[in-house]
Chain A
């Protein structure tokens, strides 16, 4: 049993316990009303017995209440299962007592057994509900039959009725109860499965969407990362581009300056046209002068 299932089960038991306060109160009030209003009603079911049943019912419900107040982690699976089992079984025994004290064959308290099937459908699966039905049939029919054979005394609810001891009436009640119990169990099983299926489907859908959203979340994270990476790369690239642009501007400036300088130089060159020729001229002149110098030097040497 996982924590979710446990929680649901605990929640169901909490509801049932709450309902039981009300249910017990209704049954006790009904008993008291009948007792006060109709003096002849169920003389064997004295006030003391009503009080005793009330004390027992409220007593064990208080124990349940006390138990389920504890946090879910502290309740073991085993104890929870036992408490869940008690929700139906103990009630059925109590109802069997009510059924007996209110005159069995004359009583309409057999209806209470159907209520336990309703409770069972909220707690158990198919098998549990069927077993609850079987126990109800055993308790109801058992009480009827044991009483019919006078193994226990009969408490007459309605003086003047001849139902007790009438084989046809007893048989009719036994068959009727069993038939309707079968129907109730069938309804309960179908209902419980219907609701369980609905829940299962919803849970499935929820899980599917959850998975989907997880995948999306991952995707978003990845995309976010990629985005951040790209953003960073773009910033870097932009910064680099800006720098290059600056360098380019600088270079263009340098280029322009150089070109200007060159142009100036060229202009100067154009003023002194035929610079090459002039250079040759100069060189020739140097040569002639050197020759002249040698000649002069020779003359000086001769004269000495």
Chain B
């Protein structure tokens, strides 16, 4: 169970605990009304109703205390147990109320159908089915026990005054009750499982979408990190490359200057050489002219 699931479970149990305060109150108020205004209806004695109510409230208080603790402190195991108790204990409590009322032929058996509704909020398909099976066993057991006269005996005058017929010895009523209860219980279970499945599928779909997106976000985060790294690397490389280019350019300029200087120097040197050749040529010319002139003088 991950933290999210745990949170969901705790929230569901919290809701169930809240409704339980209300439900216990309703049952007690109803019992009081029936006790006062409908004296003929078979009901457990006031002390037993009080005892069951107190136990129920204590249980609920225990759950409440447990759920108040921070989520990190609740272990999966204890949470599973608390989750399981939400339905099982309630079902047993209804059983006791029915047992002490002397007959299973009471409206309270609707509660076995109502807990199916609660089980949707808490359990998966299997849990809802198990809830239904437990309810079926508990209530059918009561009906059969009553048929064989094993229920808590009421004073006979209760049933004389009451229109409620005990199932004791009446196979027709007993069979009707068994068939009717179980058919409706399982019809309700089928619907509950089906509708519960609807919610579960919706939640699952949303969760899947969420998880998918989370994975995508994770991938994107890694990608972003990598890209940032690549970007930084490239930036650095570019800076380096630019710097070395600038350096190279400076070196190139220096070289060019040096070459120009060399060329100039070379030009100067070469020029002088050429001058010298010119001068020599001139001397030669002059010598020839002088010789020529001397010849002329000599000839005269």
Residues of A within 8 A of B (CB): 8, 11-12, 15-16, 18-19, 22-23, 26-27, 30, 33-34, 37-38, 40-41, 108, 111-112, 114-115, 118-119, 121-122, 157-158, 161-163, 166, 168-169, 171-173, 175-177, 179-180, 182-184, 186-188, 190-191, 194-195, 197-199, 202-203, 205-206, 209-210, 212-213, 216-217, 219-220, 223-224, 226-227, 230-231, 233-234, 237-238, 240-241, 244-245, 247-248, 251-252, 254-255, 258-259, 261-262, 265-266, 269, 275, 278-279, 282-283, 285-286, 289-290, 292-293, 296-297, 299-300, 303
Contacts and interface: CB of A to CB of B under 8 A. Distances in A.
B37 to A, nearest CB: 8
Contacts of A22: 187, 190
B135 to A, nearest CB: 13
Contacts of B186: 26
A255 B244 CA distance: 21
30 contacts: A8-B202, A11-B202, A19-B191, A23-B190, A30-B180, A30-B183, A111-B113, A111-B188, A172-B38, A175-B34, A187-B117, A190-B19, A194-B12, A199-B203, A199-B206, A202-B206, A212-B217, A220-B223, A230-B238, A234-B238, A244-B245, A259-B262, A265-B269, A269-B269, A283-B279, A290-B286, A293-B286, A293-B289, A296-B293, A303-B297
Given A33-B179, A108-B180, A114-B114, A234 B203 contact: no
B88 interface: no
Contacts of B286: 286, 289-290, 293
B61 interface: no
Contacts of A275: 272, 276
Contact of A220 (B224, B241, B251): B224
Nearest to B248: A244
Contact of A248 (B38, B183, B217, B252): B252
Q: How large is the interface on B (under 10, 10 to 19, 20 to 34, 35 or more residues)?
A: 35 or more
B188 A166 contact: no
B234 to A, nearest CB: 4
Interface in B104-124: 107, 110-111, 113-114, 117-118, 120-121
Interface stretch (B46-54, B144-152, B225-233): B225-233
Given A182-B26, A223-B228, A230-B234, A258 B194 contact: no
B272 A241 contact: no
Given A108-B184, A254-B259, A296-B290, 7 more contacts: A118-B188, A175-B30, A190-B18, A220-B223, A237-B242, A261-B266, A286-B282
A38 B186 CA distance: 22
Contacts of A16: 195
A119 B214 CA distance: 34
B172 A234 contact: no
**10 interchain residue pairs of minimum CB distance:** A176-B107, A216-B220, A296-B293, A223-B227, A230-B234, A169-B163, A166-B163, A202-B206, A237-B241, A213-B217
Contact of B206 (A172, A206, A213, A265): A206
B92 interface: no
B74 interface: no
A216 to B, nearest CB: 4
B89 interface: no
A255 B259 CA distance: 6
B185 to A, nearest CB: 9
B8 interface: yes
B80 interface: no
Interface in B132-162: 162
Contacts of A119: 191, 195
A220 B220 contact: yes
Nearest to B269: A265
A251 B62 CA distance: 93
Nearest to A289: B286
A108 B263 CA distance: 121
A44 to B, nearest CB: 16
A299 B206 CA distance: 131
A256 B209 CA distance: 72
Contacts of B163: 162-163, 166, 168-169
A281 to B, nearest CB: 10
Contacts of A245: 248
B293 A300 contact: yes
A225 to B, nearest CB: 10
Contacts of A286: 279, 282-283, 286
Nearest to B296: A300
B117 A188 contact: yes
Nearest to A189: B19
A262 B266 contact: yes
B234 A258 contact: no
Contact of A115 (B191, B258, B262): B191
B287 A184 contact: no
Interface in B164-222: 164-165, 172-173, 175-177, 179-181, 183-184, 186-188, 190-192, 194-195, 197-199, 202-203, 206-207, 209-210, 213-214, 216-217, 220-221
B294 interface: yes
Given A158-B173, A245-B248, A292-B290, A179 B30 contact: yes
Interface string B270-293: 101001100110110011011001
